[in-house]
Amino acid sequence: MTEHSLYLDGPEATAAAGAALAAVLRPGDVVALGGDLGAGKTTFARGLLHALGFAGEVPSPSFPIVIPYAPPELRLPLWHVDLYRIDDPEEIEELGLDEARADSALLIEWPERMGARLWPDALRLAIEPAQRPGGPDARRLTWAAPAPWEGRWPPRT
């Protein structure tokens, strides 16, 4: 997989990138969203969830670890997962992600906590602060798209 990137000039652009992903997301897809604390993962997730039709406030799943969403709230079932508080990859088994993937998309923050359990067909995204004239809110979105994502990500403009 080749790594690619684009610059996001603030929170609106970060949310718009999430919305662009929502347009191509399907049940069974896994999106691994990496980045340090404060990188913009939640902003990206909010853009994705709102584009899928969620009208409410999008909380971070840091404490519940998993927040499932389903129609009619969204156009497709999605589990928003935050593995920040997971210390041992063995704990992930208890979350039921394999079963959820059968009919839902998975958006996983802190995917590195999965270790080798992360599916090889996951779209791997990373957000980091960018040194760019866009200001302190500028971000760099980097991705590696495996074969199942070719032609879907990045979206053609």
- Per-residue pLDDT tens for 28-41? 999 999 999 888 99
Residue 110 pLDDT: 95
d(CA 107, CA 30): 6
Question: Can you give the pTM of this predicted structure?
Answer: 0.92
- Per-residue pLDDT tens for 97-145? 999 999 999 999 999 999 889 999 999 999 998 876 667 788 999 998 8
- Per-residue pLDDT tens for 143-157? 988 999 988 998 765
88 pLDDT higher than 90:
no
Share of the chain above pLDDT 70, in %: 96
Residue 134 pLDDT: 60
Residue type, position 90, single letter: E
